[in-house]
């Protein structure tokens, strides 16, 4: 039995993988599953983003992408494809990082995962230090509440959680604000009114959970 499991958040800046390249060209937020490295050297990519034909075109024009498939559900595009370009996340996985979430925005990536024990953490930190553009953002012990997704824990929908998370990361809740509602809505690929409605519903849900 391992004594401790740690949550690790890593930022990646300047990666040249297909998803990073595509989000530099198209202002959308891409939520990806951890890439699966196959025996033939290709990585299986599965990811989703707000519906935007420009993203599909950018990926389709990338010579490193093979067998791109897109399906649209409730205003979001779900993608599957193969990539022959190695991803930075593989470097961290190889030394013990268990990736739980992976988000691309404006060419940068945010990786959240877990490591089992401080020895593995040291290996991840060493590899992050050796890899250009990779920085360790946060480390903290995994608690019981962290075993459940935020949306499940607080009774939020996935869209409400995405609206809250994106607004927080872009500085919408900072004092003074570093961005406005229109910018956050653009990052989410939705209208300003749709963003504000999701935000109000999420805030009401959180208030109800806190104050009954």
pLDDT given for residue 96 in this prediction: 85
Q: What is the pLDDT of residue 143?
A: 60
Residue 32 has pLDDT above 80, yes or no: yes
* Pair type for strands 36-37 and 65-73: unpaired
The answer to whether residue 3 scores a pLDDT higher than 60 is no
Please give the Cα distance from 159 to 208 (Å, whole number).
18
Greater model confidence, 80 or 91: 80
Segment 56-70 shows an average pLDDT of: 95
Domains of the chain: 5-144 (no CATH), 150-211 (1.10.10)
Look at residue 5 in the predicted model and tell me its pLDDT.
81
Q: How much is the pLDDT for 208?
A: 74
Contact 163, 186 (CB under 8 A): no
Q: What pLDDT is attached to residue 45?
A: 93
Joined tokens for residue 8: 């690790």
The least confident of 99-108, 130-139, 199-208 is 130-139
Select from 145, 146, 176, 160 the least CA-distant residue to 208: 160
Task: Please give the sequence-ordered ranges of beta strands (E in DSSP) within 58-107, or none if there are none.
Answer: 65-73, 76-83, 98-105
Per the CB < 8 A criterion, the answer to whether 151 and 160 are in contact is yes
Distance CA 115, CA 125 (A): 11
Q: Would you say residue 93 has pLDDT above 60?
A: yes
Whole-number pLDDT of residue 63: 94
| Residue 168 exposure: Cα atoms within 13 Å on the Cβ side | 8
* Average pLDDT, integer, range 23-32: 93
Tell me the pLDDT tens digit for each residue of 130-175. 776 788 777 777 664 444 455 555 667 888 888 888 998 898 998 8
State yes or no: pLDDT of 196 exceeds 80.
yes
CA geometry: angle 15, 48, 87, nearest 5 deg: 25
- Measured between alpha carbons, how far is 62 from 20 in angstroms, rounded to an integer? 12
pLDDT of residue 64: 94
User: What is the CB neighbour count within 10 angstroms for residue 94?
Assistant: 12
Give residue 212's pLDDT. 53
**pLDDT at residue 205 greater than cutoff 90:** no
Percent of the chain's residues with pLDDT above 70 = 89
Residue 15 confidence (pLDDT) above 90:
no
């Amino acid at each position: 039995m391992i004594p401790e499991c740690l949550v690790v958040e890593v930022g990646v800046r300047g990666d040249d993988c297909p998803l990073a390249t595509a989000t530099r060209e198209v202002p959308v937020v891409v939520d990806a599953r951890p890439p699966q490295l196959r025996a033939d050297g290709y990585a299986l990519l599965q990811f989703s983003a707000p519906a935007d034909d420009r993203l599909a075109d950018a990926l389709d024009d990338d010579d490193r992408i093979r067998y791109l498939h897109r399906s649209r559900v409730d205003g979001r595009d779900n993608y599957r494809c193969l990539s022959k370009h190695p991803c930075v996340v593989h470097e961290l996985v190889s030394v013990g990082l268990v990736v739980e979430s992976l988000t691309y925005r404006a060419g940068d990536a945010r990786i959240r995962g877990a490591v089992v024990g401080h020895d593995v953490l040291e290996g991840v930190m060493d590899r992050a230090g050796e890899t250009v553009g990779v920085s360790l953002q946060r480390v903290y012990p995994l608690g019981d509440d962290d075993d459940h997704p935020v949306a499940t824990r607080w009774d939020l929908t996935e869209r409400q959680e995405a609206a809250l998370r994106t607004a927080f990361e872009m500085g919408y809740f900072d004092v003074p604000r570093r961005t406005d509602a229109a910018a956050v809505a653009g990052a989410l690929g939705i209208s300003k009114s749709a963003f504000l409605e999701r935000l109000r519903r999420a805030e009401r849900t959180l208030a109800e959970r806190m104050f009954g």
